[in-house]
Amino acid sequence: MTAHIIDGRAMGAEIKVELRNDIQRYMQTHGRLPGIVIVHVGTDTASGVYSKTILRIAEEVGMHASLEQLPTLTSPDELQTILQQFNSDETVQGIIVQMPLPTHLSQKMVGDTLLSSKDIDGISPYSAGNLFLGLPSLLPSTAAAVVEILERTHTPLAGKRVVILGRSNVVGTPLAMMLLQKNATVTICHSRTVDLATFTRQADVLIAAVGRVKLVTGEMVRSGAVVIDVGINYLLNGSIVGDVDFASVSQVASALTPTPGGVGPLTNIVLLKQCMQAAGWEAEAGKHATILH
Ligand code: NAD
């Protein structure tokens, strides 16, 4: 079997067209664009690249976006005050704080401070709690991007065995909750899992989100499985690879995401889609508030 290679860039282009239409409809109804603010504290290079990518995509889809670049030595109080200002800013529907933060700032404080209705990367305990309870929620964008791929490729999930490698709060664990709600039978494997291959060989859908080169090889994959490679690993020669050994797995799987060009291009587009979702929910809540008054 030779796997169908899932084209994340083409899928991203498709979502951008839908998003642009949604934003135009929002503009016609509300007379303003939905707005996203990116908060980047410090000088982390990858965060700088992600911020620029979000700004570029926002411009492409017609969303209002701005970057709040803060110095590394921003104090916890200063960051909290800035986030609170964005919480109450009516022109802002979504806030993303780039991680990692400088070590003197805590992600927990950010999650606790962000207004949950603007927490478009689903990092607050409230968002995580809603996801856990199966209630509508803003979602961690990488996990949501994986679900987007599975849905757009019409991958059956109900009753299927899904194995996720990695249990982080941004990818593996929220993804498990999302797929459980789609009636998949979900197994999470992690750094302490013994005999990984026993689990991976059972998977109808195998998702690798670890950050280890060639963690998943062809003999670990069941024939015909759908394999989603979330991992990003930088090689010494400057190239980027995922967690999946593309050469061997593409001979066994029925479908496979490449790295680069698979999950990566979708993550930031899905983040903006969530901002649009947040804007829609805010407008709905406002409508109900008007009725109540
Ligand atoms: P993380 O370091 O927080 O978590 C890694 C997880 O892998 C942990 O839960 C750990 O238990 C598990 N793990 C470690 N060794 C393992 C092993 N041998 N077998 C099974 N599980 C093992 O990382 P993260 O933030 O969840 O990201 C995971 C990967 O996804 C990284 O490579 C990251 O760069 C990539 N990533 C990609 C995107 C994207 O847009 N494509 C976005 C976020 C993260």
Per-residue pLDDT, averaged over 114-139, amounts to 97
Three-class SS state of 263: coil
Per-residue pLDDT, averaged over 277-284, amounts to 95
Q: Whose CA is nearest to atom 41 of ligand 1?
A: 264
Q: Whose CA is nearest to atom 14 of ligand 1?
A: 191
What share of the chain has pLDDT > 70, as a percent? 98
Q: Is 16 exposed, middle or buried (0-12, 13-18, 19+ CB in 10 A)?
A: middle
Q: What is the pLDDT of residues 57-97, one digit of tens each?
A: 999 999 999 999 999 999 999 999 999 999 999 999 999 99
Binding site membership of 180 for ligand 1 (Cβ less than 6 Å)? no
Q: What is the pLDDT of residue 288?
A: 58
CB atoms under 10 Å from CB of 29, counted, come to 10
Q: Which of 9, 171, 220 to mutate to test the pocket of ligand 1 (most atoms within 8 A of CB)?
A: 171
Q: Which of 230, 234, 235, 269 to mutate to test the pocket of ligand 1 (most atoms within 8 A of CB)?
A: 230
Task: Name the residue among 129, 95, 130, 132 with its Cα closest to residue 110.
Answer: 95
Q: What is the pLDDT of residues 128-145, one digit of tens each?
A: 999 999 999 999 999 999
Q: What is the pLDDT of residues 215-226, one digit of tens each?
A: 999 999 999 999
Alpha helices in the chain (DSSP H): 8-30, 45-61, 76-87, 107-113, 125-133, 141-152, 172-180, 196-200, 246-249, 264-292
**Res. 289 pLDDT band, cuts 50 70 90:** low
Three-class SS state of 23: helix
Spell out the residues 6+ positions from residue 85 whose beta carbon is closer than 8 angstroms to its own.
none
Per-residue pLDDT, averaged over 263-289, amounts to 91
Task: Write out the H or E segment, with its range, that includes residue 6.
Answer: none
Q: At what angle do helices 45-61 and 264-292 cross, to 10 degrees?
A: 60
